[in-house]
Structure 1
Amino acid sequence: MKNLTEAYTLVALTDQNAAQWDEFVLSEPTGSVHQLSSWVEFQTKIPGREVAKGFGVRDKKGDFVATVICVQMDTGFLGKKWWYSARGPVVNMQKNAAAAEFLFRMVKRNLTQHGGMFWRVDPYFSETDWQRILDLETKPAVQNYQPTDTLMLDLTKSDEELLKEMKRKGRYNIKQAQKHEIKYEVYADGKFTKEALQQFWDLNIATTDRDGFSGHQKEYYRHFLRSLPETAVLFLAKKDETPVAAAISTFAGSKAIYYFGASTSDNALRKLMAPYGLQWRMIQYAKEKGCKTYDFLGIAPEGEENHPYAGISEFKWKFGGYRDTFVAGKEIPLNGFWYWVYRVMKKLRK
């Protein structure tokens, strides 16, 4: 540890270093909107998540080489808390594995002092990446908030190439949306109307009721758009003045993420294929913003035909692309006894 403390310094995320922090996160392949400084503002507006901390590792030159945002979460169990780092830490494991080791050790020590049963992380790591971190006690996460498998599009390809690599039905449905003259409204920079958010919300309710997914409260989406004005964008697809599909996506650095999607349950309007046209509009928007990849955010793992994502995976695969797979979340115990009790209780509840 001595050699690590001589090489690196742990600093907190502050207003003064937020710009440098974000520049680092956006420059790293493992970076995403979940680890930008603005993510702290978003998370702390959600009831039960009022505490969030950012920790960064600087090298001797003063440059960030690893960062992580930790959000305090409620277990719903005897008032006990835990910490969550969505898609964090951000670090280049091939170049800076030592910095990652320093980060994990120091942040674990800090979070232990602040209380909490465990710290859950789910970075964009491979199994090889995890093996580079020595002597770190981890357990498989009790629950995964982020998908292990996702579908990616390479946006460096031309529109012609992207369309050619789609499944025939995907191309056909995009043309159908164009034929039916679906129009698209784009609300960026945190500027959206009360009516637009309500229209998204109404479609979201229809979708969750139809497909059996659990959604969030409307305020959650409002905070998402307001707190992440430089990255989060609301899209509405309409036939004449009738909303038929909607989405909230993020565009951060080289990475676009299709975050929340919704569509009408009206059978006649569903035949207009608006969700396909909307995806193509968002892909175009991502390219305009300079994004290099488009992440569909979650598909069923290979061979799992009964997975909860099976239905939406069929829709997403129609756009072509390739599968990207990451290791499932891991938990780092902070309080051995209470963490053991927590895991036992989780098993009993199942």
Structure 2
Amino acid sequence: MQFLKSIYWQEFQQKYGRKVSRFGDQIIIYFPLKKGLSWGLVPAFEEKDQTKIKTIIQDAQENGAIFLKLEPTENFDWEKIKYKIVSSKNVHPQQTLVLDLTKSEDELLNSMKQKTRYNIRLASKKGIEIIKNPDQGVEIFYQQVKETEMRDKAKFHSLKYYQAMYAVLHNQYHRLDVYLAKFENNYLAGAIVYHDFENKISYYLHGASSDQQKNLMAPYLLQWQMIKDCREVKQKKYDFFGVKTASDDELLADEKHSWYGITKFKLGFAPEGKLINYPKARDLILKPFWYKIYTVYQKIR
């Protein structure tokens, strides 16, 4: 998750129009609210120095933040911070699945679930074409996003968000790729992968698919091509960036969770992958009155 506080991610967020403050290797991403207020997100929170934490809180106060959402990567002694802190929902995935890319392609294929291997070969045999970073790729991907939103009743980012992401992270820094799966003249699936070259990890950030010709299994071949390409650029790990399993140490999708389908899909590629569980996020409350109004509004919206 270290990429979420990198200078590259910071510049993308700023390109999108959000204010970002940096304190060493920690950042605060501000989300504007009405009446000049905001709330701040601190992704991959690892700061232990109390003086630096006070500086972060001071910056948040100066920017009208009603709370800071801290997303820790490891357990933290919250009692050391002299503000009211409550458990809250994570913005980024609290649980993820990581595939070891140091294995050979044959080893990766053989370790997959049989149904996943079958679907990859079926898509290839049927003539699915995988295209990387085509012209208007972001806009075509966004068409898949809108279909996925309607089908899954989920909320994705705006087209402007994906365009800012591509402009900075691909065009400027060459750390992000857009993939599309195509059959004849129809685009059937799309995905976005981010490459953390310093830590040798690639992240499957976003995925979407069309309702058309689902029997061709395009997302399976798309995912396999991305995994192979990440190996080609010498990445050592492939992070599926978000799963929900039945328990913290069980590689089995949670049937009761809305992520059941996507988790089952990802586990098909890495049934022996490494499961990582991050601590729950915490809201550090700076303006109790406004925080109460904000939380009530979030529940009824």
Query: TM-score by structure 2 length?
Result: 0.86
1:207 match: 148
2:251 match: none
Q: Displacement, 1:123?
A: 3.4
Work out whether residues 35 and 90 of structure 1, in 8 Å CA contact, stay in contact via their aligned partners in 2.
no
1:176 match: 122
Residue 213 of structure 2 is aligned to residue 256 of structure 1: no
Tell me, in whole angstroms, the C-alpha distance in 1 between the residues paired with 2:103 and 2:84. 39
Tell me, in whole angstroms, the C-alpha distance in 2 between the residues paired with 1:287 and 1:123. 29
1:307 match: 257
Residue 45 of structure 2 is aligned to residue 89 of structure 1: yes
| 1:203-282 to 2 correspondences below 5 Å | 203-229=144-170, 230-253=174-197, 254-266=200-212, 269-282=213-226
Tell me, in whole angstroms, the C-alpha distance in 1 between the residues paired with 2:298 and 2:150. 28
What SS does structure 1 have at the residue aligned with 2:16? Answer: coil
CA gap of 1:55–1:275, structure 2 versus 1, over 3 A, is same
Tell me, in whole angstroms, the C-alpha distance in 2 between the residues paired with 1:147 and 1:74. 22
Q: Displacement, 1:38?
A: 2.4
Q: Displacement, 1:326?
A: 0.5
What SS does structure 1 have at the residue aligned with 2:80? Answer: coil
1:72 match: 30
Of 170, 174, 193, 2:135 maps to: 193
Tell me, in whole angstroms, the C-alpha distance in 1 between the residues paired with 2:142 and 2:62. 40
* Larger Rg over CA atoms: 1
Letter of the 2:38 partner, please give it: K
CA gap of 1:334–1:185, structure 2 versus 1, over 3 A, is same
1:119 match: 68
CA gap of 1:336–1:213, structure 2 versus 1, over 3 A, is closer
Residue 2 of structure 2 is aligned to residue 31 of structure 1: yes
Tell me, in whole angstroms, the C-alpha distance in 1 between the residues paired with 2:245 and 2:274. 13
Question: More relative contact order in 1 or in 2 (CA 8 Å, sep 6+)?
Answer: 2
For 1:17-39, what per-residue CA distance to the aligned partner results, in whole angstroms no more than 9, with x for missing partners?
xxxxxxxxxxxxx512x212122
Residue 12 of structure 2 is aligned to residue 54 of structure 1: no
Letter of the 2:89 partner, please give it: Q
Q: Which runs of 5+ in 1 are unaligned?
A: 1-29, 57-66, 92-96
Work out whether residues 36 and 64 of structure 2, in 8 Å CA contact, stay in contact via their aligned partners in 1.
no
Q: Displacement, 1:134?
A: 5.9
Q: Displacement, 1:261?
A: 0.8
CA gap of 1:242–1:337, structure 2 versus 1, over 3 A, is closer
Tell me, in whole angstroms, the C-alpha distance in 1 between the residues paired with 2:9 and 2:186. 32
Greater strand fraction, Structure 1 or Structure 2 = 2
Q: Displacement, 1:235?
A: 0.5
Residue 92 of structure 2 is aligned to residue 146 of structure 1: yes
CA gap of 1:74–1:55, structure 2 versus 1, over 3 A, is same
Tell me, in whole angstroms, the C-alpha distance in 2 between the residues paired with 1:75 and 1:141. 21
What SS does structure 2 have at the residue aligned with 1:223? Answer: helix
CA gap of 1:198–1:328, structure 2 versus 1, over 3 A, is same
1:317 match: 267
Work out whether residues 31 and 90 of structure 1, in 8 Å CA contact, stay in contact via their aligned partners in 2.
no
For 1:280-326, what per-residue CA distance to the aligned partner results, in whole angstroms no more than 9, with x for missing partners?
11101111222221111111242542212112111111112232111
Paired positions, count: 287
For 1:109-140, what per-residue CA distance to the aligned partner results, in whole angstroms no more than 9, with x for missing partners?
23223331111121322x3xx13x66124633
Identity %: 29
Of 285, 289, 292, 2:236 maps to: 292
Tell me, in whole angstroms, the C-alpha distance in 1 between the residues paired with 2:160 and 2:39. 23
CA gap of 1:300–1:337, structure 2 versus 1, over 3 A, is same
Work out whether residues 86 and 284 of structure 2, in 8 Å CA contact, stay in contact via their aligned partners in 1.
no
Work out whether residues 138 and 330 of structure 1, in 8 Å CA contact, stay in contact via their aligned partners in 2.
no
Q: Displacement, 1:237?
A: 1.3
